[in-house]
Amino acid sequence: MPVDPYFDLSGIVALVTGGSRGLGYEMVRAFAERGADVVVASRKLDNCEKVAEEVRALGRRALPVQLHAAKWDSIDQCIETVYGEFGRVDLLVNNAGMSPAMPSHEVTEELFDAVMGLNFKGPFRLASQIAKRMYDGDGGNIINVSSSGALMPLPSVVPYGSSKAALNAMTRSLAAEYGPKVRVNTLSAGPFLTDIAKAWPQEQRAHVDSGIGRPGRPEEVVTAALFLASPASSYTSGAIVRVDGALQIGQ
């Protein structure tokens, strides 16, 4: 397809965690279609390999990597594998996450640690290590995929909302620490009709209390992701870009 120069990603290497499905998959496809070579990382290697084949069919290089995005040893191994293959990462998307619903008084320590690990501890490790390499090299760009749950009251998923709020704070701090060579931004996603939405009641799948009034279709994350990933956002860093259909955040 013709590529708008603002969204031209030709020649960059993008690493997307949770890249084999949902919003991560949509971003992998969009980046590859605009010229990026892509590392597809998630826990299930076979799913990563399927998406990598789609990327190769678009004429781009692809590397599937098995990654436990909460475990620092797995993260460090992923970094070594990617740099061994490509020599650099130009764009990192911290997209892997989990949001189990449970009354707060029933949350176990194991569940709390798992949510915080995948949504914040792991992304911190990956972003901080790659940001340092970017800073020591030619620079780069990091997108942390967060949630409207970090900005509004969200009962029964308190560890999730709290971990995403920490991710938002991390974005601002890393942008200050590794700028100006490294830009770091948050893509704050609202409700999207990804795999997780299959368990939602039909009313929730059709209507959301927001300005647009409905959940997002997965492909509707693409333009916001391309804005943050591309030269179009060259003066944007430390920002939270809401892609949530104008949810009533203050309520």
Mark whether 160 is an active-site residue. Answer: yes
- Domain contains 41: yes
Structural tokens at position 146: 């967060």
- CA 68 to chain CA centroid, Å, is 15
- Domain contains 249: no
**Domain containing residue 101: CATH number:** 3.40.50.720
What is the 3-state secondary structure of the chain? Answer: CCCCHHHCCCCCEEEEECCCCHHHHHHHHHHHHCCCEEEEEECCHHHHHHHHHHHHHCCCCEEEEECCCCCHHHHHHHHHHHHHHHCCCCEEEECCCCCCCCCHHHCCHHHHHHHHHHHHHHHHHHHHHHHHHHHHCCCEEEEEEEEHHHCCCCCCCHHHHHHHHHHHHHHHHHHHHHCCCEEEEEEEECCECCHHHHHCCHHHHHCCCECCCCCECHHHHHHHHHHHHCHHHCCCCCCEEEECCCECCCC
- Domain contains 248: no
Domain that holds residue 71: 5-243
- Domain contains 251: no
Instruction: Report pLDDT for 208.
Output: 82
Instruction: For residues 107 and 91, give the distance between their C-alpha atoms in angstroms, rounded to a whole number.
Output: 35
- Domain contains 94: yes
- Domain contains 116: yes
- Domain contains 141: yes
**Number of domains composing the chain:** 1
Catalytic residue from among 83, 160, 178, 235? 160
Q: Which residue has the tokens 């956002």?
A: 233
Please report, in tens digits, the pLDDT of each residue of the chain (251 residues total).
567 888 999 999 999 999 999 999 999 999 999 999 999 999 999 999 999 999 999 999 999 999 999 999 999 999 999 999 999 999 999 999 998 889 999 999 999 999 999 999 999 999 999 999 999 999 999 999 999 989 998 899 999 999 999 999 999 999 999 999 999 999 999 888 876 656 667 777 778 888 999 988 989 999 999 999 999 999 999 999 999 999 987 65
Instruction: Report pLDDT for 183.
Output: 98
- Domain contains 70: yes
In tens, the pLDDT along 79-99 reads 999 999 999 999 999 999 998
Nearest to 94 by CA among 76, 115, 120: 120
Is 232 within 8 Å of 6 (Cβ atoms)?
Answer: yes
Is 66 within 8 Å of 48 (Cβ atoms)?
Answer: yes
Beta strand pairing status for 91-94 and 182-189? unpaired
